[in-house]
């Protein structure tokens, strides 16, 4: 997705927040929130659209379209600037706390003069908030938890933000005449869910032209330091980027070294020492003679250490060295293994695009099958009814097989599914006789996150035991940096999934990545199957599958572990679950 869409979406969301903070029209705030979502999920670069084109985006009327044009013409929007001027910077800082709403932020500022996260934490510990209307012990607990989430992020950003910037930088530098190789390294290459800064590696014989071009990139706002081997910059995304230029014959050793992790590199250097070798970013050297042995490719470096090439997603010192030495590394699932997506939404509920557009985009990705899973009626705001879901099924059956898929025989097979809500007692939206008409059912927790551990565990286990629930969607419900996972006994849930033939979702949306890699490793030991799903609410979201696959790899999953890599016949057999004879 173009960066301009993200920038405009963030601006519209900020405007909505500012309206709320200042006590403005709640309807106007909601309109701008909806527009922010639509712009963020729009397939075309909004900077290329005129007034009429912008108004074709769902939820973007003439007034909002004019604000977008004003932003691209002037670099700012007067209405936003006016509201920013009315609100102290301290209040805006407080709204960064995930669990503190804009109105409460304004209250603590006006009533207690609090304008920083630290002051707010002190006030809670001193119980000074309890005299304010709408504040109590539970509110204090929630705010403290939000502060903890904010602090734990440590200035890290979601993987998609870092990846978008890194992809652009690699493309720009790769086009330079003197650049022989270019790649991102570090935690981004290992597909960590959040990224602190970006490491870019270039192989070139003359570093200076590459360094100079790097500092002149349009997203660079400040050059922190520059030299012959390394240049560091700050970007408009708030991310620091380090560029290292190495000789071409050191590429493999440098890529291995700067990919990390630190713990993995310690283990590889220990292997080198035991063989009287020295491993650094410049190569693998004989200790006695100082002669360079290998350095040009990662494969050569690992092979000389007695290891196969180890995928970056495994390089966390979680047993990959031992498995490599014994020839037991897993054959990790890849994005090209995927045959389809089993969780996505349309504009029938909270998606942004109609069924036809989503199916066409799925076909363009070369998938063999694709499931539409709009929300059931228990999510009241989605306005689902029996009649509406059955009408969608009829339309889907009409379209089944009509979209040509790249590189596959036959058209895209469309599966009619639903995302059910797992209620407080484990019940779902429709009775079993109605659920029997769906090709698959995803069931997810969307509310009552603060139930006790036993109740939450029992709730999800009961959903697993429903013979028509095939996948538990975003199983821990977490939103990275904003909401923690629920306090359920995950091992009990994993055991129930294995026992009942219910798959666990790896939700590929970058703000979820749920299950996380540590939980996947635990679940895998129970013999659970998984589904890597986009949970797409717009066409661009289908591309998020790369992050879900990265997380699946970090959880050591193979193609056989992931049900949407299977041929359609095998998948449908799995989906019959408890109805099999």
Tens place of pLDDT per residue across the chain (581 aa): 445 888 888 888 888 888 877 778 888 888 888 888 888 878 778 888 888 888 988 889 989 999 999 888 888 888 888 888 877 777 777 777 777 777 788 788 888 888 788 888 888 888 888 878 878 787 888 788 777 767 665 668 889 989 999 999 999 999 999 999 999 999 999 999 999 899 999 999 999 999 999 999 988 999 999 988 899 999 877 789 999 999 999 999 999 999 999 999 999 999 999 999 999 999 999 998 989 998 889 999 999 999 999 999 999 999 999 999 999 999 999 999 999 999 999 999 989 899 999 999 999 999 999 999 999 998 766 688 999 999 999 999 999 999 999 767 779 999 999 999 999 999 999 999 999 999 999 999 999 998 999 999 999 999 999 999 999 999 999 998 888 899 999 999 999 999 999 999 999 999 999 999 999 999 999 999 999 999 999 999 999 999 999 999 999 999 999 999 999 999 999 999 866 53
Contacts of 244 (CB under 8 A, 6+ apart): 199, 200, 201, 202, 229, 230, 254, 258
Residues 28 and 139 in one domain: yes
Per-residue confidence (pLDDT) for residue 153, from 0 to 100: 58
Three-class HEC string of 53-79: HHHCCCCCCHHHHHHHHHHHHHCCCHH
Residues 208 and 291 in one domain: no
532 assigned to some structural domain: yes
Per-residue confidence (pLDDT) for residue 144, from 0 to 100: 82
CATH number at residue 281: 3.30.210.10
Per-residue confidence (pLDDT) for residue 121, from 0 to 100: 83
343 assigned to some structural domain: yes
97 assigned to some structural domain: yes
Domain-terminating residue out of 122, 153, 184: 153
Residues 293 and 347 in one domain: no
Residues 413 and 485 in one domain: yes
* Pairwise CA distance, residues 564 & 370, whole Å: 9
CATH number at residue 358: 3.20.20.140
254 assigned to some structural domain: no
Residues 308 and 439 in one domain: no
Residues 353 and 232 in one domain: no
256 assigned to some structural domain: no
Domain-terminating residue out of 246, 273, 288: 246
Residues 217 and 350 in one domain: no
pTM score of the predicted model: 0.86
Per-residue confidence (pLDDT) for residue 446, from 0 to 100: 94
Per-residue confidence (pLDDT) for residue 1, from 0 to 100: 43
The owner of tokens 């897993």 is 330
Whether residue 294 contacts residue 277, with contact meaning beta carbons closer than 8 Å, is answered with: no
Judged by DSSP in three states, 46 sits in helix
Whether residue 370 contacts residue 394, with contact meaning beta carbons closer than 8 Å, is answered with: no
Domain range enclosing 567: 335-579
48 assigned to some structural domain: yes
* Pairwise CA distance, residues 570 & 581, whole Å: 16
Residues 288 and 383 in one domain: no
Per-residue confidence (pLDDT) for residue 97, from 0 to 100: 76
* Pairwise CA distance, residues 281 & 18, whole Å: 48
Per-residue confidence (pLDDT) for residue 551, from 0 to 100: 98
**Looking at the 3D structure of the chain, how many domains does it have?**
4
Per-residue confidence (pLDDT) for residue 3, from 0 to 100: 59
Distances (CA, A) of 430 to 145, 180, 420, 481: 35, 59, 8, 33
Per-residue confidence (pLDDT) for residue 578, from 0 to 100: 65
The owner of tokens 């705001």 is 381
255 assigned to some structural domain: no
Per-residue confidence (pLDDT) for residue 385, from 0 to 100: 93
252 assigned to some structural domain: no
Per-residue confidence (pLDDT) for residue 579, from 0 to 100: 67
Residues 49 and 73 in one domain: yes
Per-residue confidence (pLDDT) for residue 9, from 0 to 100: 86
Distances (CA, A) of 4 to 53, 55, 216, 225, 278: 15, 16, 19, 28, 46
Residues 229 and 303 in one domain: no
CATH number at residue 104: 1.10.150.110
Q: Give the chain's radius of gyration (CA, Å).
A: 26
Per-residue confidence (pLDDT) for residue 368, from 0 to 100: 96
Query: Residues 34, 36, 42, 46: what is their CA dihedral angle, to the nearest 10 degrees?
Result: 130
Residues 569 and 518 in one domain: yes
Instruction: Characterise 426 by phi-psi region: left (phi > 0), alpha (psi -120 to 50), beta (else).
Output: left
Domain-terminating residue out of 125, 153, 181: 153
Three-class HEC string of 432-446: HHHHCCCCEEEEECC
The sign of the CA dihedral 249, 254, 256, 257 is positive
Q: How many residues does the chain have?
A: 581
Beta strand 503-507 with 471-472 is parallel
Residues 419 and 282 in one domain: no
Contacts of 81 (CB under 8 A, 6+ apart): none
Whether residue 335 contacts residue 549, with contact meaning beta carbons closer than 8 Å, is answered with: yes
């Amino acid at each position: 997705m173009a960066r301009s869409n993200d920038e405009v979406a963030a601006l519209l969301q900020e405007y909505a927040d500012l309206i709320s903070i200042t006590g403005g029209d709640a309807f106007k705030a909601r309109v701008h929130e909806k527009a922010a979502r639509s712009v963020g999920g729009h397939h075309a670069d909004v900077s290329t659209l005129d007034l009429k084109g912008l108004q074709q985006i769902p939820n973007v009327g003439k007034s909002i379209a004019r604000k977008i044009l004003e932003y691209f013409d002037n670099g700012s929007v007067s209405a936003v600037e006016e509201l920013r001027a009315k609100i102290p910077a301290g209040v805006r800082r407080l709204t960064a706390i995930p669990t503190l709403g804009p109105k409460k932020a304004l209250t603590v500022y006006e009533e207690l003069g609090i304008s920083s996260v630290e002051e707010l934490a002190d006030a809670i510990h001193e119980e000074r908030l309890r005299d304010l209307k709408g504040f109590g012990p539970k509110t204090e607990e929630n705010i403290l938890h939000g502060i903890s989430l904010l602090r734990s992020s440590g200035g890290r950003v979601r993987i998609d933000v870092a990846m978008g910037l890194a992809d652009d930088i690699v493309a720009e530098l790769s086009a330079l005449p003197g650049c022989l190789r270019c790649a991102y390294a570090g935690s981004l290459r290992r597909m960590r869910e959040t990224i602190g800064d970006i490491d870019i590696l270039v192989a070139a014989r003359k570093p200076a032209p590459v360094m100079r071009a790097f500092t002149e990139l349009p997203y660079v706002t400040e050059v922190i330091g520059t030299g012959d081997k390394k240049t560091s910059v700050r970007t408009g995304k708030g991310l620091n980027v380090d560029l290292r230029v190495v000789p071409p014959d050191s590429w493999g050793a440098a890529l291995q070294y700067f990919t990390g992790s630190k713990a993995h590199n310690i283990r590889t250097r220990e292997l080198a020492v035991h063989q009287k070798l020295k491993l650094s970013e410049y190569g693998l050297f004989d200790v006695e003679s100082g002669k360079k042995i290998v350095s040009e490719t990662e494969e050569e470096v690992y092979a000389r250490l007695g290891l196969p090439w180890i995928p970056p997603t495994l390089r966390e010192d979680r047993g990959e060295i031992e498995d490599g030495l014994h020839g037991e590394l897993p054959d990790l699932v890849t994005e090209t293994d995927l045959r389809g997506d089993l969780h996505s939404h349309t504009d029938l509920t909270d998606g942004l695009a109609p069924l036809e557009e989503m199916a066409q985009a799925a076909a363009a990705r070369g998938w063999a099958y694709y499931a539409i899973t709009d929300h059931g009626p228990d999510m009241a705001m989605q306005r689902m009814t029996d009649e509406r879901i059955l009408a969608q099924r009829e339309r889907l059956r009409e379209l089944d097989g009509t979209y040509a898929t790249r590189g596959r025989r036959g058209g895209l097979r469309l599966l009619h599914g639903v995302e059910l809500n797992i209620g407080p007692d484990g019940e779902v939206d429709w009775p079993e006789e109605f659920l029997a008409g769906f090709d698959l059912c995803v069931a997810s927790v969307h509310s009552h996150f603060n139930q006790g551990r036993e109740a939450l565990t029992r709730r999800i286990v009961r959903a697993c035991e429903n013979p028509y629930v095939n996948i538990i969607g975003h199983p821990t419900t977490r939103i990275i940096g904003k909401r923690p996972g629920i306090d359920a006994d995950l091992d009990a849930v994993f055991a129930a999934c294995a026992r009942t033939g219910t798959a666990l979702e790896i939700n590929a949306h970058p703000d979820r990545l749920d299950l996380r890699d540590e939980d996947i490793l635990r679940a895998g030991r129970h013999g659970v199957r998984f589904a890597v799903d986009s949970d797409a609410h717009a066409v661009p979201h289908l591309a998020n599958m790369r992050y879900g696959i990265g997380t699946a790899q970090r959880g050591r999953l193979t193609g056989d572990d992931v049900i949407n890599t299977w041929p359609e016949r095998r998948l449908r057999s799995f989906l019959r679950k408890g109805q099999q004879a």
